[in-house]
Amino acid sequence: MPEPAITLHGVVKDFPLGRGTTVRALDHLDLDVADGEFVAVLGPSGCGKSTVLRLLAGLEQPTRGSVSVEGASPSELIAGHRLGVAFQEHALLPWATARENIALPWKVAGRRVDTDRVDALLGLVGLDGFADARPRQLSGGMRQRVAIARALALEPDVLLLDEPFGALDAVTRRRMNLELARIWSEQRITTLLVTHDVTEAVLLADRVVVMTGRPGRIRQIRTIGLPRPRGTGATRDPEFHRIVDELTALLDGPDPAAEEPAA
């Protein structure tokens, strides 16, 4: 079997609260993501799903356990500029144009900007006519398109998305889900999406990971067998709604582990 693109093994993450106390965000979490797979992580607020992404992005270190991306530590992938990340806050440079924001990763890496690649990315995210627009001149959805294009700039091996459409209105969010589905189908980059939106997860992912409340553990991993590509028609499929209802019930239901009596 090929080595997974992402591996978290026995991961425990504690955060200090001061005066010698800690809070456990993740508890013995195991997860593998295959090369080219799209995995979505769902869970209640505070369950540690964003902590999973921050560990993979090298922004946090596990208290115990191991985290690897492409068989190496996240820091090695970051040093090689092989990791793309997009957060809910787009973090675009307000004084720079869309084109300049997308070109930023080349400059950070000390490389010559690939103008053809920038143009291709503008086309990929549907912003051909907005290359010279600054963030204040773009809608929220357009700004997130620029952020995703920037995350894809250096052709990363792995893409990490932390609630990238969480601040958008419902209509724009649905459109961006369809755009991301299209972009992923063209790029086939190993992708981990953290979201609280069940419909978004089912539309986009090959598998959906459902986490428990804090401390975060994996409650269930659901394979989404719906055919691709998934457009607006997929959301009208009765099977789509059955899966959404099943995952929603898991999120809303009690955590069996929390009900087990202490040993």
Q: Tens digit of pLDDT for each residue in 56-83?
A: 998 999 999 999 998 888 988 888 888 8
Distances (CA, A) of 241 to 163, 207, 249: 22, 16, 12
- pLDDT for position 234: 84
Q: What is the DSSP letter of 3?
A: P
User: pTM to 2 decimals?
Assistant: 0.88
The CATH classification number of 1-65+73-82+157-255 equals: 3.40.50.300
- pLDDT for position 209: 96
Distance CA 85, CA 164 (A): 10
Q: Which residues of the chain have pLDDT under 70?
A: 1-2, 90, 253-263
